[in-house]
Amino acid sequence: MNPAADAPILFFDSGLGGLTVLGPTRALLPTAPIVYAADYAGLPYGQKSEAELAARVPALLGRLVERYQPRLAVIACNTASTIALAHVRAALDLPIVGTVPAIKPAAALTRTGTIGVLGTEATVRQPYVDDLSARFAGDKRVLRYGSPGLVTAAEAKLCGEPVDRQVIARAVGGLRDQPGGDAIDVIVLACTHFPLLAAELQAVAGPSVRLIDGAEGIARRVADLTHGQPWPAAASPGIAAFTRSAERLPPPLATLAPYGIGRIETI
């Protein structure tokens, strides 16, 4: 049975990085109702343990699904997806789209045979990334680096604050300084926050390096899974829901408005 036309798509991330997935999805589904949920109380995910995230993410998504009754949920977070995707799918009775590092397209693009994977500390150490590398880049050199500072820098940039150039330099250097790193010609942005810093990362990496992420592919997957379902005739203002945090407040609505968000809630 098809969902009601006003049933939203739920996007979930630790912070604002998932907006880089929301944007391409709205381009394909312009009238889709949107709920964007950010776990500010748990940010940053990249420095949390696997056990903590495997428990936290399904529980929080369960609350969000109960509250907003979405037709589909997108875990717009590489760290949460690589650790908790199977747990979420087991717990919830609706389609779940995850976000995984774009290693397969990177392997097809590289000319030098050396790929860099730039993610959070938690993402780059996951067996899921080992498996992707073995399946799709078995004949390539895949170098990884977990940057603890890029998530914070991306959040700051989106809220109009200056980007610390040293954070960018350390992240790119963390790949380049590894044995064989000077041959990297494709860098996978394996965190949805990182495309928010694409210009800064590209400036340091240089014009010979291509940056790629999985946002367009995720958007196409959402469109495929909802093909034939009813949608409203016109777009309505979306909702952004933030878990309560003593350390950070939700961003101004003006920051979120370009993504179709018209209301902010705390949960």
Domains and CATH numbers, the chain: 9-99+216-266 (3.40.50.1860), 103-213 (3.40.50.1860)
C-alpha of 160 from chain center: 20
The confidence score (pLDDT) of residue 148 equals: 86
- Retrieve residue 11's tokens: 């996007």
pLDDT over 90 percentage in the chain: 95
Indicate if 77 belongs to the active site. Answer: yes
Locate 2 and state its tokens. Answer: 């098809």
* pLDDT beyond 90 at 118: yes
Q: Which of 9, 124, 191, 215 is catalytic?
A: 191
At residue 2, the pLDDT reads 87
Of 38, 57, 77, 100, the active-site residue reads: 77
Q: Where are the beta strands (DSSP E) in the chain?
A: 9-13, 34-38, 72-75, 96-97, 114-119, 141-146, 186-190, 210-212, 238-242, 261-266
pLDDT at res. 197? 98
119 three-class SS:
strand
Would residue 159 show up in a list of annotated catalytic residues for this protein? Answer: no
For 221-264, what is each residue's pLDDT tens digit? 999 999 999 999 999 999 999 999 988 899 999 999 999 999 99
Q: What is the pTM of this model?
A: 0.95
Q: Are strands 114-119 and 141-146 parallel, antiparallel or unpaired?
A: parallel
Average pLDDT over residues 201-210: 98
CA 115 to chain centre: 19
Neighbours of 118 (CB within 10 A): 27
Question: CA of 74: how far to CAs of 64, 97, 150, 213, 248, in Å?
Answer: 12, 5, 22, 16, 24
